[in-house]
Structures are given as structure tokens and as C-alpha cells.
């Protein structure tokens, strides 16, 4: 039953398992024994296991548990209907062969921070919620942040219905197979109207905090970024008998395009990555008929990103023509620059500097987050936890225990400052 938003925490709300226990429970889910990396892709078995874990954490603490129309999970302390809620959380899905921290650190830290506040005997003036956004990485359907995009309206229902995975399974079918009603998906403005602030804690995906010697930082902005599919179509033929001069090899145009992407990114001080490729028919002894490569490109500002991607497209066209290969380029997704809410960011800085008098570093990032998607609808902010190597989207991703503990403490302080 919903509990009152004002006053002391309800008797039902109680600290749950420790950060360690939570981390240990999540660690084996979807983990590849050889690489140590994770494949927790949306609406698959490992994703369901992570979601069951989230539900158990919510229920075990006596929090109000719900799944919204887009499959995002919520754990409520206090009555959501009271409005002006303070929400924290992140995501539990992963990229292919991803690390343990990207996403889960934010969710586990959220439960641990709530436990810390209950132990402090905090008196909540506003409802508080922990959220697990579905399909943040877009590893399966190609589009990142599907859960938050649907909720905010940044992704239309029609476009969501058109998303398919590599096996041709549509998003609605995948959701239905996982036990969710795909007919329910769509914008959720009422839910967003009831939220006063969203704060996402995340492992840093660079080395800014390591270099500055800080455990925790505050996000300033997210670079504009997008994904483009380059589809080169040539002519399949025998690898042993076809003279080089007679070939229409899409792999050559693709390979030259990869080099052009590196050149354009270097020139502009941006980044460009071809991290996924599909080759048809995929025979060692056949010239490919078709090569699809997916470009991820990001830059500090829109103009630079346009220049980089425009340059890559132009080069790809020239290489395709030179080899007698057809080319289509489709922009699959795009996220404009995000400038996090200045007032909320400043408030986080004040809260975190209160006891120490120290200034918490404020940093930008090239990584996308649900907080970035939601920043167009509600005040959002992010906390970053130091990553000593900067490695992310890899099994080698790491954050030291002391830094994770500092992150939980910072998040608890922030939630107390905002909700109590
Ligand atoms: O930044 C990304 O690739 C994703 O949104 N986490
Ligand atoms: Mn990620
Ligand atoms: Mn993430
Ligand atoms: Mn043969």
C-alpha cells in the first residue's frame, strides 16, 4: 500500500541487503565464463534475472513496486501521487561483453543509499523512487535508452514497433515473450510530471576523476551522438577465380570508409567508431555481396558532429563509386547535446561540499544516459564515480571498492538534501 509522503519513513521501509550482498547477487547474471563480460540484453533471460533481482530488492525493503507501461521498474518510498518525487537509479542491461559497473553500479548504489538514509533516520518530505530503465544500451534493437525515450516521448510508438533485433524479432514480440504488454508502450507525461528531480549515479567512462584525484564528480553535459548504418552492396563471386579488376567488393569500400572515419574524427577532435559489422553471405572463399557497418560518432558540439559524419558519408560514397558498389546510409538514432539542469547541478555541488568545503569536479562526457534523455522533460543530474583505467563497455571496466562506497555516501547526501 502507498505510504504517506511526509513524515518519518513508514515502518515497512527497512534497510535491505548490503552493497556487497547486492553486488554478489548480480555478479553471475549473464556473465560469460571465458571473457568475464556481460550480455544482459533487453528482454532476454539474463535481463529477466536482473529484473527479478530488482523486484526482490524493492519488495524486500517494503517499497512500493511497479512496472510502468514501458517496462521500466520502480521502487517507491512514499506515495507517488504526492508529486515532486526525487528519483534515482540507472539500468541493469549491458552492451555485448560489457563490464559489471555500467548501469548496475547506479542501481545498487541507489538501494544502498536509501538504506543509509533509513539508518540515519532521515525524515522524508517527498516521495523517493529507485528506477531501473529498460534497454539503456540498445545492444539488441540498435537504439539506446528505449525505456526512457518511450517515457519521455523521444521515441514514438510507431518507431518502437519497427525496431527489430538481429534475428528479426521485433521489440513488441520480444516484450510480449518476456511477459510484458507491448500494446501499453507510449509516452508517460503524468509520471514525469510527478518527478521533481532525477539523479543518476554512474561509473565514469573516462579518466577525468582519476587525473584530478577525486572519487566522485558531477556531470555537466553529454556530447551529441548518434548511430548510422552504412549499407554497401556489391557482387558475390568466387574468391579464387574472380580477377581483382572484375570485382565489386563492398568490403573494400567499407574498409576504406573505416579509415576515413578515423581521419575525419582526428581532424575535428571528435570520435568515430565502427564497432559492429555484418557480412553477407559470410563465406571465407566468397567475395561478399553486402557489408553493413554501424558507425557511432560523437563530438562536443553539433556542428563538429555534422562535419565529421558528413565527411565520412562523402568519403564512403566515393569509395563505393570507385568499386562499383551501391551505398545507402541511414541514421538509426540521434541524441542532441545535453546540458544538465544548472540549478540542480549547483545544488548537488553545495550538498557534497557542505562538510568538506571542497569543490566537487564538474565534468562532461561522451557517453549517453537515461538522465540525458529525461533532461528534456525534468530536472536531471548525474554523479560519476572514479574509474581508475577509464575503460568501459569492456569486461575490464572497474571501480575500486572505496570509491563505490564514496559514491553511495554522496548519493545518500544528495537524496537527503533533495528529499528530506
Ligand atoms: O553511450 C552509450 O553508448 C549508451 O547510451 N550507454
Ligand atoms: Mn553504457
Ligand atoms: Mn550506462
Ligand atoms: Mn567451388
Write out the three cell numbers for 386: 572514479
135 is in an annotated binding site: no
Residues with CB under 6 A from ligand 1: 136-137, 144-145, 367-368
Q: How far is the CA of 372 from the centre of ligand 3 (A)?
A: 11
Q: How far is the CA of 250 from the centre of ligand 2 (A)?
A: 30
* Structural contact between residues 85 and 128, judged by C-beta atoms closer than 8 angstroms: yes
- Residue 179 makes CB contacts below 8 A (sequence gap 6+) with none
Residue 149: per-residue pLDDT: 98
Ligand nearest, relative to CA of residue 237: 4
- Nearest residue (CA) to ligand 1, atom 2: 368
Phi, psi of 9 (to 5 degrees): -65, 145
Label residues 110-124 b or e (16+ Cβ within 10 Å = b).
bbbbbbbbbeeebeb
173 sits in which H/E element: helix 171-177
CA dist., res. 3 & res. 115, Å (int): 17
CA dist., res. 419 & res. 38, Å (int): 34
C-beta contacts of 235-244 below 8 A and 24+ residues apart: 235/287, 235/289, 235/324, 236/280, 236/281, 236/286, 236/287, 236/288, 236/289, 237/286, 237/287, 238/285, 238/286, 238/287, 239/283, 239/284, 239/285, 239/286, 239/287, 240/285, 242/287
- Residue 259 makes CB contacts below 8 A (sequence gap 6+) with none
225 is in an annotated binding site: no
298 is in an annotated binding site: yes
Residue 2: per-residue pLDDT: 34
Residue 10: per-residue pLDDT: 55
Q: In the chain, what is the straight-line distance between the N-terminal and C-terminal CA atoms, in Å?
A: 21
**Low-confidence spans in the chain with pLDDT less than 50:** 1-9
- The closest alpha carbon to 69, from 193, 152, 173, belongs to 152
Residue with cell 558531477: 218
Residue 35: asked if its preceding bond is cis (omega within 30°), the reply is: no
Ligand 1 atom closest to 369 (CA): 5
Q: How far is the CA of 114 from the centre of ligand 2 (A)?
A: 24
Could you tell which of 38, 91, 138 is best to mutate to test the pocket of ligand 1, judged by most ligand atoms within 8 Å of the CB?
138
Write out the three cell numbers for 318: 566515393
- The closest alpha carbon to 383, from 420, 414, 342, 341, belongs to 414
292 is in an annotated binding site: no
Q: How far is the CA of 286 from the centre of ligand 2 (A)?
A: 35
- Nearest residue (CA) to ligand 1, atom 4: 368
* Structural contact between residues 215 and 406, judged by C-beta atoms closer than 8 angstroms: yes
Q: How far is the CA of 281 from the centre of ligand 3 (A)?
A: 34
Ligand nearest, relative to CA of residue 239: 4
Residue 165: per-residue pLDDT: 97
ipTM rounded to 2 decimals: 0.91
- Residue 1 makes CB contacts below 8 A (sequence gap 6+) with 64
Residue 284: per-residue pLDDT: 98
102 is in an annotated binding site: yes
Q: What pTM did the predictor assign?
A: 0.94
Amino acid at each position: 500500500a502507498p505510504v504517506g509522503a511526509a513524515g518519518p519513513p513508514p515502518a515497512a521501509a527497512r534497510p535491505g541487503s548490503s552493497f556487497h550482498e547486492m553486488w554478489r547477487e548480480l555478479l553471475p547474471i549473464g556473465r560469460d565464463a571465458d571473457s568475464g563480460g556481460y550480455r544482459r540484453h533487453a528482454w532476454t533471460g539474463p535481463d529477466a534475472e536482473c529484473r527479478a533481482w530488482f523486484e526482490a530488492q524493492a519488495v524486500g525493503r517494503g517499497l512500493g513496486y511497479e512496472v510502468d507501461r514501458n517496462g521500466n521498474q520502480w521502487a517507491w518510498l512514499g506515495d507517488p501521487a504526492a508529486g515532486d518525487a526525487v528519483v534515482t537509479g540507472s539500468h541493469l542491461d549491458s552492451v555485448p561483453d560489457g563490464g559489471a559497473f555500467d548501469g548496475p553500479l547506479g542501481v545498487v548504489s541507489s538501494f544502498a543509499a536509501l538504506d543509509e538514509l533509513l539508518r540515519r533516520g532521515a525524515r522524508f518530505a517527498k516521495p523517493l523512487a529507485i528506477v531501473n530503465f529498460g534497454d539503456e544500451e540498445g545492444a539488441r534493437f540498435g537504439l539506446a535508452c528505449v525505456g526512457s525515450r518511450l517515457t519521455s516521448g523521444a521515441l514514438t510508438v510507431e518507431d518502437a514497433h519497427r525496431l527489430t533485433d538481429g534475428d528479426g524479432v521485433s521489440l513488441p514480440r520480444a516484450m510480449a515473450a518476456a511477459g510484458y504488454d507491448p500494446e501499453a508502450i507510449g509516452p508517460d507525461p503524468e509520471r514525469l510530471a510527478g518527478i521533481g528531480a532525477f539523479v543518476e549515479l554512474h561509473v565514469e567512462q573516462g579518466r577525468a576523476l582519476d587525473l584530478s584525484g577525486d572519487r566522485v564528480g558531477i556531470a555537466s553535459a553529454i556530447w551529441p551522438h548518434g548511430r548510422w548504418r552504412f549499407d554497401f552492396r556489391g557482387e558475390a563471386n568466387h574468391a579464387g577465380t574472380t580477377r581483382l579488376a572484375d570485382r565489386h567488393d563492398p568490403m573494400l569500400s567499407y574498409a576504406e570508409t573505416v579509415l576515413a572515419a578515423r581521419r575525419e574524427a582526428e581532424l575535428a577532435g571528435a570520435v568515430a567508431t565502427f564497432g559492429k559489422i555484418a557480412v553477407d553471405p559470410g563465406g571465407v572463399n566468397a567475395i561478399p555481396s553486402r557489408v553493413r557497418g554501424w558507425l557511432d560518432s560523437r563530438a562536443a558540439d553539433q556542428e563538429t558532429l555534422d562535419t565529421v559524419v558528413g565527411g565520412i558519408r562523402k568519403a564512403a560514397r566515393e569509395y563505393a563509386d570507385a568499386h562499383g558498389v551501391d551505398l545507402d546510409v541511414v541514421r538509426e538514432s540521434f541524441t542532441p547535446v545535453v546540458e544538465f539542469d544548472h540549478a540542480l547541478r549547483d545544488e548537488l555541488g553545495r550538498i557534497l561540499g557542505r562538510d568538506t568545503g571542497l569543490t566537487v569536479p564538474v565534468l562532461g562526457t561522451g557517453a549517453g544516459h537515461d538522465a540525458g534523455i529525461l533532461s528534456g522533460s525534468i530536472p536531471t543530474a548525474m554523479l560519476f564515480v572514479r574509474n581508475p583505467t577509464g575503460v568501459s563497455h569492456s569486461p575490464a571496466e572497474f571501480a575500486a571498492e572505496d570509491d563505490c562506497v564514496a559514491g553511495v555516501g554522496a548519493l545518500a547526501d544528495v537524496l537527503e538534501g533533495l528529499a528530506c
